Amino acid sequence: MRIATWNVNSITARLPRLLAWLESSGTDVLCVQETKCTAEQFPTDALREVGYESSVHATGRWNGVALVSRAGLADVVHGLPGGPEYEGVAEPRAISATCGPVRVWSVYVPNGREVAHEHYAYKLRWLEALRAAVAEDASGPRPFAVLGDYNIAPTDDDVFDPAVFEGATHVTEPERAALAALRDTGLTDVVPRPLKYDHPFTYWDYRQLAFPKNRGMRIDLVYGNKPFADAVKDGYVDREERKGKGASDHAPVVVDLDV
C-alpha cells in the first residue's frame, strides 16, 4: 500500500500534474494540503474518473485539506476536534478517515508567521489540540499516521542553514517541543533516513533559485504509530515533482507499507 502527503499549493493550479502523478506513482492514498478552494470547487469528478474517492475540508481561498483514496474512505472526520479558532474562525486544517486497514490524518499546521505574532501562539495551541485528538489512535493496535505539512523542521539538519532561520518560526524550541509531545503519544517519524540525498528537504521557496541551490526545509512529515511504522518498507521524497513549470513549492513524500 502506497500512502503519500503533498502540499499542492492550490489544487486547481496543480490538477493536471496531480492526476498525472497519481497515475505514474501508483499512490493508493494521498493526503493533500493547501487546496485553496471551496468544497464545491474541489475536483471530485476528475479524481473519480481516474479511480479515486475523495473528501475535502475547505472553505475558500486559503488553507484546505483533503484525502484522496482508491483503498476506501470511511469514517471521515472534518476538522480538528477541540481545535482552536483564529480570529473567530475554525480553519480547515485537518481531515481524517479510514482507508482500508489504515487510519490517516491529513494536516496543515498553521505557519506561525512570526514568533511575536498571535498566529504563532495559535500554532502552538493547534498542535496541542492535535496531540490530544490523536492520542487514542496513536497508542492503538490499528496502523495509524498523521501526514502533512507541519510547518516545523524537527531538527537543525532539516534546514539548509540553521543560521538563516535564527529567531524565525519553524525552528523554535516551543514548536519542536510540540512535535516531541506529539511523538510521545506513540508516533515516530517513519520516512527512512538517510535517503538518496543527504538532506531530504520537502519544501523550497519559489524565490532566489532556492530549489536549484537546494536551499530547502524538511517540513512535510509522516508520523506513524508502531503498527504503521512496523509495516513501512520504504519511503522517499519525490523531488522530481518539484521540478519544471507549474510545480508546487512542496514535493510529495511517499511511504510504502506491507499491510
| Residue numbering of the annotated binding site for Mg(2+) | 7, 34, 149, 151, 249-250
Out of 57, 120, 223, 250, which one is annotated catalytic?
250
Instruction: Quote the cell numbers at residue 78.
Output: 472534518
Residue 182, SS3? helix
Distance CA 155, CA 203 (A): 15
Cα distances (Å, whole numbers) of residue 31 to 79, 159, 213: 14, 23, 27
What is the DSSP pairing of strand 216-217 with strand 203-204? antiparallel
> Does the annotation mark 108 as catalytic?
yes
Out of 28, 52, 108, 223, which one is annotated catalytic?
108
Q: Summarize the annotated binding site as residue ranges.
A: 7, 34, 149, 151, 249-250
> Does the annotation mark 189 as catalytic?
no
Q: Which helix (H) or strand (E) holds 101?
A: none
Residue 216, SS3? strand
> Does the annotation mark 199 as catalytic?
no
Sign of the CA dihedral 4, 184, 64, 218? negative
Out of 28, 52, 57, 149, which one is annotated catalytic?
149
Q: Which residues are catalytic?
A: 108, 149, 250
